Structures are given as structure tokens and as C-alpha cells.
């Protein structure tokens, strides 16, 4: 009975009764989408927070707005100032939008391994983009350190430091968590998502834990090449990072300050192979009509796996981080999928969607 009522509630979107205040006023209040096929298969109510419906197209709009507002409130950023960040893509896109809306200069350092769609979009939005070689965080040439050093040389400039600036997690504590709680009528058994900076998982998770008085479980989902799953499974031992994943913007080799605010409260973690994430990209397009990226698909796979662990009758929420538009030259390219050894991960009846050569 509850599941049917909830399905009706989460797919209907409410809007404010008047115009919002520009781009920044449109961030948040995204719908929660009931994922019918996988809910039926697991006997659970699996829902995804449609963060691709933020005005900048991703969950990172929340963090971008949060860190800029924090810098303004602390007097670190004044009119005409410069915002600098090291980002794998979506935070930079969110910051570029926010900076255009607020009149700031935006400078982005990013690994040169990111999709061309993201780089092009950043430049279209007026950001200055510096793609640099992808090296470990410990290396002084890491894109985050280059962003920090660039900002330090300028007056009226701020390095927003998305990984370790806990204003990131605070933005989700103040918005994403409350929205999910309200949209599920406070009947939420678990929340799970992957993490890069740790902001979404920590901020949302902290709110849900507090509001439910500990009843809502919060789990971390991890891609290959990340050390977070092993860290949680081992009780806090960090190992050297090895391997990699085709997902972008998630996975980590350390405990960021954002994640550090919540990591001890996590109930568990799951590791999700790329093959399952890619297959889910195609499955959700075919069965739900939802066009999402690989990190979003990983989150859905993780929610399904968690549903199987917790058993029928549970409500489990996750994050649909962004759409596939920023990755389509890869995820829907036959040649790219074959080069990555992922061509056979897609069921035969879904290969019709791989229309790019």
C-alpha cells in the first residue's frame, strides 16, 4: 500500500508558485524517480534522485553553489573576484554556471583524461580551462595543487577546494538530505551512492542518519581502482590505489575531509565492476527511458545489490548524478567500448543503442 502511494508521490514534481532567483535559485528540488523494473525484481522500492535536472545538469550544482556562498559569507570572495577549482568535470561546470550568474571569473584545472564534451562545455560557459596530466594526489603537479597555487597568486580569489572544503558536504546536508527525506515521507531504509569528493554521501547521509535517529542505513558504492571499499571493509586501512575505472568523478585514493566527517558512520560498502555499470546505462535507457552516465548507473547497480542484501519491502534511494550527454562519444561508441573490453558487457538486445562508431 505504502509503495504504491510513494510511487505516485515521487514521480509528481512540484514547482514554486513564482519565478526563482536566476540560475542559483533553480538549484535543487529535483524529483525522486521510482525505478520500476528493478523495484519489481527486488521486491523493494528503489528510487533515484534526478540530479541531472539541476540547471547545470548534475548533482555538482549543489556543491558549486554551496562552496561559493560559503566563500562569500566568510569574506573570502568579493564582487569581481576569481573562483579557481581542480575538478574532473561536473563541479567545474556547476562553478562556471554559478560564476556567470554571479559575475566572477572562473578558472578550472582538470585531468586531461576527462571527456572532451566536458572540456568544451566549460569553455563555452566562459571558464578558463587548463587540462593537465593526471597524476596522483601526492604529486605536486596534481590538478588540485595546481589550482590551489594559481589562486594563491591572485588578489580577491578563492580556491574552492571541493575535496576538503566541508561547505561541499554542508550543501547536501541542507538540501539533498531534507529533500529525499520529505520525498520518501520519512520512510527510507537505506541510501547508497558512490563518492569522489565525499560531499554528497557525507552531507546527505549525515542528515538522513540524524533525521531517522539512525534507522536509515547509509552505504558507499565504489568503482574499480578506488580504495574506499577496502578501507571500510578492513576497518580503516588505506591501501595503495591500483587499477582504474571508466566512470568519471568517483572513486578515491584517500579519505577527503568531506568524507571524513561521516566515514565512521557508514553501515557498509559495495564495489561495482565497470561491466555492470555500463550494462545498467543501457538497461535504464531501454526500460525507463532515462539517459544517464556511468556513475549514475553504478549507483543504481549498487542500490539493486543493496536491495538484495536487505531483503524485500525496503525503500532504497540513490543519486542519478548526471545525464549521458557528456559521455556519449564514449559510452555509446562501438569502438570505445571494444577498446575498453566492455562490448560484451552490453546484452545483445541492447547493443542497438551503441550507434556511434
The C-alpha angle with vertex 186 and arms to 183 and 190, in degrees rounded to 5, equals: 90
Q: Are strands 32-34 and 45-50 parallel, antiparallel or unpaired?
A: antiparallel
Q: Are strands 315-320 and 128-132 parallel, antiparallel or unpaired?
A: unpaired
Burial class (CB in 10 A: 0-12, 13-18, 19+), 244: middle
Give catalytic status of residue 276 as yes or no: no
Catalytic residue chosen out of the listed positions 49, 60, 118, 314: 60
Q: Are strands 105-111 and 128-132 parallel, antiparallel or unpaired?
A: parallel
- DSSP codes, 227-260: SHHHHHHTTS---------S-SS---SS--HHHH
C-alpha to C-alpha distance for 168 and 152, rounded to whole angstroms:
20
Q: Quick one: CA dihedral 212, 213, 215, 216, positive or negative? A: positive
C-alpha to C-alpha distance for 60 and 131, rounded to whole angstroms:
19
List the beta bridge partners of residue 148: none
Enzyme catalytic residues: 60
Amino acid at each position: 500500500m505504502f509503495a504504491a502511494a510513494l510511487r505516485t508521490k515521487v514521480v509528481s514534481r512540484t514547482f514554486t508558485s513564482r519565478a526563482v532567483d536566476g540560475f542559483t535559485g533553480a538549484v535543487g528540488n529535483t524529483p525522486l524517480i521510482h525505478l520500476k523494473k528493478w523495484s519489481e525484481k527486488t521486491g523493494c522500492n528503489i528510487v533515484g534522485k534526478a540530479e541531472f535536472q539541476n540547471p547545470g545538469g548534475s548533482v555538482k550544482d549543489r556543491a558549486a553553489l554551496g562552496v561559493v556562498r560559503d566563500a562569500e559569507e566568510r569574506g573570502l570572495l568579493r564582487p569581481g573576484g576569481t573562483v579557481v577549482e581542480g575538478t574532473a568535470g561536473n563541479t567545474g561546470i556547476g562553478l562556471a554556471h554559478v560564476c556567470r550568474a554571479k559575475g566572477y571569473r572562473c578558472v578550472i584545472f582538470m585531468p586531461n583524461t576527462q571527456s572532451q564534451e566536458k572540456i568544451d562545455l566549460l569553455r563555452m560557459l566562459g571558464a578558463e580551462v587548463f587540462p593537465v596530466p593526471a597524476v596522483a594526489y601526492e604529486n605536486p603537479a596534481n590538478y588540485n595543487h595546481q589550482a590551489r597555487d594559481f589562486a594563491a597568486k591572485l588578489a580577491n580569489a578563492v580556491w574552492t577546494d571541493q575535496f576538503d572544503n566541508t561547505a561541499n558536504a554542508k550543501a547536501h546536508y541542507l538540501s539533498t538530505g531534507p529533500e529525499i527525506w520529505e520525498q520518501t515521507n520519512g520512510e527510507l531504509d537505506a541510501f547508497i551512492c558512490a563518492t569522489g569528493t565525499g560531499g554528497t554521501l557525507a552531507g546527505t547521509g549525515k542528515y538522513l542518519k540524524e533525521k531517522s535517529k539512525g534507522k536509515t542505513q547509509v552505504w558507499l558504492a565504489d568503482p574499480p581502482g578506488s580504495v574506499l571499499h577496502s578501507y571500510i571493509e578492513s576497518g580503516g586501512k588505506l591501501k595503495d590505489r591500483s587499477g582504474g575505472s571508466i566512470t568519471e568523478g568517483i572513486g578515491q585514493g584517500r579519505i577527503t575531509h568531506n568524507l571524513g566527517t561521516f566515514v565512521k558512520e557508514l553501515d557498509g560498502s559495495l564495489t561495482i565492476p565497470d561491466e555492470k555499470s555500463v550494462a545498467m546505462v543501457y538497461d535504464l535507457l531501454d526500460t525507463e527511458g532515462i539517459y544517464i552516465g556511468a556513475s549514475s548507473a553504478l549507483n543504481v547497480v549498487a542500490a539493486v545489490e543493496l536491495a538484495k542484501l536487505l531483503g524485500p519491502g525496503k525503500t532504497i534511494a540513490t543519486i542519478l548524478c548526471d545525464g549521458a550527454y557528456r559521455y556519449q562519444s564514449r559510452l555509446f561508441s562501438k569502438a570505445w567500448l571494444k577498446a575498453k573490453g566492455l562490448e560484451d558487457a552490453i546484452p545483445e538486445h541492447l547493443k542497438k543503442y551503441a550507434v556511434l562508431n
